[in-house]
Structure 1
């Protein structure tokens, strides 16, 4: 119970520190909401078929997928690398605080920020752009499963990825590949507009599967024909995301360091 209480205290501290980092809040928390708003306005004239999909509905799954990855993977990779290099992790390791409490704080940060962002995304989509949200419990079950597995995988992979670089260069190491993956995974452009060979590349990484899972939730069933396999592949999507979560956890436990390279 003491460790759990410390984990809650650490979560509160992480949230306060996160809220003070304006760049991190914008690019990981507000960015998907802003893009959904921009795309819904800019491309509204291309979705003017009465009874058809709106621009907001078309871009919502991609923004949801991007939000999951940005608030988990990107946040963890940047923050852990920074804390390792500035000596924060080393100082924390020398305190009586159990190491588990530190990770509980990070998990709490990701959980609170991700859920809050997701609620805001759905509220903006529904109230500002008239997006009809699913009414089927089955679709919301898929949403919850994809969302949870995406968060778990993104969090542990972000912690593991933080070991690849220093605080000075981690931004470029994270943001550059993330931008490329977002474009080829059907986040900013239609999945059926991505060349086949790039679809194969995107299928190696979890973002493509998160986006596909979210499309199965918010798109009409007829849109499944535009996917690589001609169907939503819900079972395969959950299996791939679960495999990434387990693999990320293994990588995290094997690569995590409390101090930067060259120090004890």
Structure 2
């Protein structure tokens, strides 16, 4: 008796994974939702630079002779730079916590590429930093007579300084997240370098009043160049006399911030760990 013929079964169709860019955008949306659900983190993140600007801008409100500017306006530009670099602190701490509580270990079991994870964090930081900058600019205009530029080219300078600065500092934050041994030590390990950088990069103390060895150290990190770029946008030609080189050196700013983006990504790929040290 002949056997019935059976049709050959075709291999199961494996669905194609979304592109890295699409995964990164999806991850950015998730990161943003999680951030705004943590109300205490939202309040602290947005209130800290505002409080610092109001305090320093109100205490040090003297005019800078021969420039037509006042110290408060210099603080606005500096604190915009610090707000654009908050990703260094926020990402360094949050990723260390996610690694310690097992969140990253669970993500490692998914097809999510590292690049998409970094992209999601960076885009989320771009959005949060942009919101901070808008608030600081509004306060600068209302309280400290800051004049917003009217030229398109100046706003183009603001855009590339902001984007390169945020991305570079965010990637540096991802990389430094591997330094704390646990989530308990993350805040102490990461906040201190960020505070020191603000004092030596022209945020709270004019760069011309710092000793040369401190300026040399700050020149190795993106914050000094971010602040310099933002001063060029909001202080104009009059503020160039406050710089060490009597110029904003925007070509050098672009070169070094771009180098931090590339170097930061390489550093992330080399040092990033999905698991904590105790899982090895």
The verdict on a shared fold, with TM-score over 0.5 as the criterion, is yes
Shift of residue 174 of structure 1? 0.9
Alignment partner, residue 184 of structure 2: 168
* Partner Cα distance (1:2, 1:253) in 2: 21
Shift of residue 26 of structure 1? 4.4
Retained in 2: the 8 A contact 1:160–1:251?
yes
Among 221, 236, 243, the alignment partner of 2:252 is 236
Higher mean C-alpha deviation, range 216-225 or range 82-91 = 216-225
Retained in 2: the 8 A contact 1:24–1:75?
no
The count of corresponding residues between Structure 1 and Structure 2 is: 262
Question: For 1:204-262, what per-residue CA distance to the aligned partner results, in whole angstroms no more than 9, with x for missing partners?
Answer: 21111111111111113133233222211100011011111111110001111111114
Correspondence 1:127-142 to 2 at 5 A: 127-142=142-157
* Partner Cα distance (2:222, 2:267) in 1: 15
User: Aligned with 2:279: secondary structure?
Assistant: coil
Retained in 1: the 8 A contact 2:126–2:167?
no
Alignment partner, residue 263 of structure 2: 247
Question: For 1:147-174, what per-residue CA distance to the aligned partner results, in whole angstroms no more than 9, with x for missing partners?
Answer: 1110110111111110111211111111
Shift of residue 9 of structure 1? 4.3
Retained in 1: the 8 A contact 2:69–2:239?
no
Larger helix fraction of residues: 1
Taking a change above 3 Å as real, the CA distance of residues 90 and 245 of structure 1, as seen in their structure-2 partners, is same
Alignment partner, residue 121 of structure 1: 136
Which has the higher Rg, Structure 1 or Structure 2?
2
Among 216, 222, 230, the alignment partner of 1:206 is 222
Taking a change above 3 Å as real, the CA distance of residues 48 and 205 of structure 1, as seen in their structure-2 partners, is closer
Question: For 1:8-37, what per-residue CA distance to the aligned partner results, in whole angstroms no more than 9, with x for missing partners?
Answer: 443333223223445543454332222112
Residue 218 (structure 1) aligned with residue 234 (structure 2):
yes
Residue 148 (structure 1) aligned with residue 169 (structure 2):
no
User: Aligned with 1:163: secondary structure?
Assistant: coil
Normalising by structure 2, we get a TM-score of: 0.84
Retained in 2: the 8 A contact 1:153–1:242?
yes
Taking a change above 3 Å as real, the CA distance of residues 8 and 238 of structure 1, as seen in their structure-2 partners, is closer
Retained in 2: the 8 A contact 1:59–1:188?
yes
Higher mean C-alpha deviation, range 89-98 or range 79-88 = 89-98
Question: For 1:161-204, what per-residue CA distance to the aligned partner results, in whole angstroms no more than 9, with x for missing partners?
Answer: 10111211111111111111101111012222222221122112
Residue 257 (structure 1) aligned with residue 279 (structure 2):
no
Alignment partner, residue 14 of structure 1: 31
User: Aligned with 1:124: secondary structure?
Assistant: helix
Normalising by structure 1, we get a TM-score of: 0.89
Any gaps of 5 or more consecutive residues in structure 2? 1-16
Any gaps of 5 or more consecutive residues in structure 1? none
Alignment partner, residue 47 of structure 2: 30
Superposed CA RMSD: 2.4
Taking a change above 3 Å as real, the CA distance of residues 82 and 193 of structure 1, as seen in their structure-2 partners, is same
